Chains A and B, each alone.
Chain A
Amino acid sequence: KAGVTQTPRYLIKTRGQQVTLSCSPISGHRSVSWYQQTPGQGLQFLFEYFSETQRNKGNFPGRFSGRQFSNSRSEMNVSTLELGDSALYLCASSRDTNEKLFFGSGTQLSVL
């Protein structure tokens, strides 16, 4: 069974640009969560989607948004990039909201 797939693996952007990250969950998993990981703050929750609905959102500004498609694939968008947005963005899927999370390899975003 294929794992969680995230693309792209690496991204380099400049301040003010926007970026879209993609996540394909494990087959049969309907919940997709996004996390930001930085050395100083650790793993911080961004949002969770289940059946195309955002169920919960973390404490991030509105520049961070996401969506989920009918096939459970999810995208995350960050607009007007700031230097502080440089981080590893991790997507995780689970069968349902309260099930175990399985992480993808992440997208390493560098904002210059």
Chain B
Amino acid sequence: QKEVEQNSGPLSVPEGAIASLNCTYSDRGSQSFFWYRQYSGKSPELIMSIYSNGDKEDGRFTAQLNKASQYVSLLIRDSQPSDSATYLCAVRPGSGGSNYKLTFGKGTLLTVNP
């Protein structure tokens, strides 16, 4: 069973701080990694994707991937109350075979306090 693990939180940070969200995965052959944001009562929204080791920045968001450690993280700089949501880590296995499904972690609840 391929697993994706996240700290369920809640993670509470003050406004303006850096929020750090972490995710580990068990399938060493995984190739694609995604972060989704889900507001309460809403559907998941894709905010970042990363495929190679290292950092990928998009505005206030930075995704970090370390395949050797099977670890992916999301940093949110200058956190805003509007960032308060559940953040879902999703991992897709490598190509080949028939296992195309995207596996999600259970999510980390982030609360940004004004």
Residues in chain A within 8 A of chain B (CB atoms) = 33, 35, 41-43, 45, 48, 55-56, 58, 90, 97-98, 100-106
Report yes or no: B98 in contact with A103, Cβ–Cβ below 8 A.
no
Chain A residues near B42: list those with CB within 8 A. 105
Number of A-B contacts (CB under 8 A): 47
Q: A42-B104, A56-B98 are in contact. Are A104 and B43 (CB under 8 A)?
A: yes
Chain B residues near A98: list those with CB within 8 A. 32, 92, 95, 100
Report yes or no: A90 in contact with B44, Cβ–Cβ below 8 A.
yes
Most buried by A among B36, B45, B95, B105: B36
Most buried by A among B43, B45, B49: B43
Residues in chain B within 8 A of chain A (CB atoms) = 32, 34, 36, 42-46, 49, 88, 90, 92, 95, 98-107
Chain A residues near B104: list those with CB within 8 A. 35, 42-43
Which B residue's beta carbon lies closest to that of A103? B43
Which A residue's beta carbon lies closest to that of B94? A98
Report yes or no: B100 in contact with A58, Cβ–Cβ below 8 A.
no
State the CA gap A101–B106 with chains docked (Å).
17
